[in-house]
Amino acid sequence: MPCVGDWLNSPLSIVQGIFAQNVPNSDWEKKVTEYFKEKLKENNATNWVPSLNDVPVHYLKPNSLVKFRCMVQDMFDPEFYMGVYETVDPNTNARVLHFGKYRDVAECGPQQEIDLNSSQTVTSERQTFYCVPVPGESAWVKEISFLTEPVQARVSPSTSYTPSRHKRSYEEDEDMDLHPSKQKEQHTGKSCCSGGDIHGCVEPKRLETEASAGHHVISPNCSPPLDLNFPLPGEKGPACLVKVYESWETFKVNDVLEVFGVLSVDPVLSIVNSEERDSSSLDPMECMDTAEEQRVHSPPASLVPRIHVILAQKLQHINPLLPACLNEEESKTCKFVSNFMSELSPVRAELLGFLTHALLGDSLAAEYLILHLISTVYARRDVLPLGKFTVNLSGCPRSSAFTEHLYRLIQQLVPASYHLRMSIESMNHSRFIPRKDYTANRLVSGLLQLASNTSLVIDETQLEQGQLDTAGVHNVTALGNLITWQKVDYDFNYHRMEFPCNINVLITSEGRSLLPSDCQVHLQPQIIPPNMEEYMSSLLTAVLPSVLNKFRIYLSLLRLLDYSISEEVTKAVEEDFVEMRKNNPESVTADDLHKMLLVARFLSLSVGQTTLSRERWLRAKQLEALRKARLQQQQCVNGNEL
């Protein structure tokens, strides 16, 4: 029986073992996945696996088991590879069978040759996904997910770190000059853990290499730095080519996955690669792909490592404070949920208080902000997305960087977010819609390629008058479509393709936003702090980390709850609606009913109720009435001013 270290450090040898035992029949593949599934089920075993999100690639041992939390950014074409192949020793004519699964390179001994015409060869198919870390992932998610791996510290130095040093020296000696990406890798490596200072011990070493890399002028055969294709500008972290071996049809673009697999950073990959590039002009077979495509589809392994997936699962959420899978009937998760639900109301009250302060004392706006933060598209009725709740927070003070600080607070609460500062400049010049680049044959990412439940905070207060050009108009239209239909039309040059999404959009503006929204809340600040920055940061420091964590759990958990409306309440709502229409048919339309039902839904959920009660319905109506009254009042004020 192999011990822990084995399946972690050299999973391929385990696979080899299983393969050798079962070789004549093809169910060895099933046995492999079963073996690893069992292993990972053991107590906290998943935490033992080093994560690419936290540990820089060059500290990980090649061909060891790693995990990676990522979003599928693009899907490449399926690959045919040698599933099983045979090697021959020309001297002794001895034949050995090997497996090609979980490998990039078909290995054979120095004295052996691969027999490509062997009858034993099995050609199989696998799919490659280009994955990036979840865009806009908050710093706290990275920190906590690293901290929840207590064994990491013990395991890492002995296993993954030391051998990788060895590998580094090999690379440094051999092909430091050949590796233009080296420099880049350092950057990537550093940024990986910018979230926390956990890597204090290794920091000096890295600084040192970076310093030397600083005057590392572009080497002769250096190509322009590879665009790693992150959706958001300024994103960092390892991009990865994830090779999936089974049921790849179930994954979609923009899905968030957690994969466990064999890390492959074999320098041979890069060599093979560069060889190909050299010879591409010579060999007609190789010029099938353009150089650009080559670069994108097989980037240097040190920059974009490969993971050969043994197990992959879609994540419902990326909040590390919650158990990864909630719908499982496990006693542990049930207990966790019920525990939390029991203390829900104090948490809600505290959160409301916190947000009220953040919104300068406006409790109504805080109430709506909570509803917004737990909203999620739970179904689509033909084209209509249900459950989206875009809030337009109008009346934001323009001068005092209020929106900036508000975003920082939200960032502390949600697992993934992005702050989009609207300006003529940014509208005209940034790329919102992902676009297919046919020369490189890849999907060039855009701002709006975001994972589900990402908070997109759009700041309209900085927008000045000016001329939008074509790109700008397209971008604004795309934002509008995103808000109304929760879909983004990706640009495939010859046609457009619709990708449904589920993004929470919060718009902060002075007046009514130019973008559509489900509900406009006019902010009525009670206090204007003289120093906004001080005020906001004091707010954040005043909250205990444990409380902050509770807020985070609260917001992520409530999103995942089910909801229903009883027959009785349906009747009551009906009555109510008819009544309202009777009095004043102009004031209440079907749209308003939609809104009220939405508010009622999230209001019920926000206090942990999964069915609508009469009181909640009344409260929802009351909230809506308050909000409307405020808007009317605002309109009057504006009217007077004119």
Nearest to 414 by CA among 458, 460, 456: 456
Among 383, 544, 618, 629, binds another protein (CB under 8 A): 383
CA distance 9 to 49: 9
Binding mask 472-511 for another protein (x = CB under 8 A): -x---x-------x------xxxx-xxxx-----------
Going by C-alpha positions, the residue among 313, 315, 321 that lies closest to residue 134 is: 315
Query: Which of 108, 326, 344, 514 is in the footprint of another protein by CB under 8 A?
Result: 108
Q: What is the phi/psi pair of residue 521, to 5°?
A: -115, 125
- Tell me whether residue 514 is exposed, middle or buried, using C-beta atoms within 10 angstroms of its C-beta: 0 to 12, 13 to 18, 19 or more: middle
Query: Quick check: 244 binds another protein (CB under 8 A)?
Result: no
- Among 418, 425, 419, smallest CA distance to 451 is for 418
280/363 with CB nearer another protein: 280
Is residue 268 close enough to count as binding another protein by CB under 8 A? yes
Verify binding: residue 80, another protein, rule CB under 8 A: yes
- Which residue, 344 or 386, has its beta carbon nearer to another protein? 386
DSSP lists the bridge partners of residue 242 as: 129, 307
Closest CA to 192 of 57, 329, 294, 346: 57
- 514 and 480 Cβ atoms separated by less than 8 Å: no
Candidate residues 416, 422, 443, 479; the one interacting with another protein per rule CB under 8 A: 443
Q: Quick check: 517 binds another protein (CB under 8 A)? A: no
115-134 binders of another protein (CB under 8 A): 115-125
- Give the number of residues written for the chain: 642
Q: Does 637 bind another protein (CB under 8 A)?
A: no
Q: Are 489 and 474 in contact (CB under 8 A)?
A: no
**Does residue 500 sit in helix, strand or coil?**
strand
Q: Least distance in Å: CB of 487 to another protein? A: 10
Establish if 609 lies at the interface with another protein (CB under 8 A): no
Determine if 25 is a binding residue for another protein (CB under 8 A). no
Place of tokens 């205990």: 544
Window 610 to 629, contacts with another protein (CB under 8 A)? 612
Q: Which residues of 310-322 are buried (b: 16+ CB within 10 A; e: fewer)?
A: bbbeebbbbbbbb
* C-beta closer to another protein: residue 424 or 597: 597
**CB of 573 vs another protein, minimal distance in Å:** 5
Interface residue with another protein among 13, 158, 342, 564 (CB under 8 A) is 564
CB of 558 to another protein, least distance (A): 16
> What phi-psi label fits residue 440: left (phi over 0), alpha (psi between -120 and 50 degrees) or beta?
alpha
Count Cβ atoms within 10 A of the Cβ of residue 173 and give its class: 0-12 exposed, 13-18 middle, 19 or more buried: exposed
Should residue 439 be labelled a site residue for another protein when binding is judged by CB under 8 A?
yes
538 binds another protein (CB under 8 A): no
* Residues β-bridged to residue 4: none
Candidates 14, 52, 55, 75; binder of another protein (CB under 8 A) is 75
Q: Whole-number minimum distance, CB 375 to another protein, in Å?
A: 12
Segment near another protein (CB under 8 A), from 165-173, 179-187, 381-389, 398-406?
Answer: 381-389
* Binding status of residue 287 toward another protein by CB under 8 A: yes
Among 221, 342, 526, 589, binds another protein (CB under 8 A): 589
Cβ-based nearer residue to another protein, 107 or 210: 107
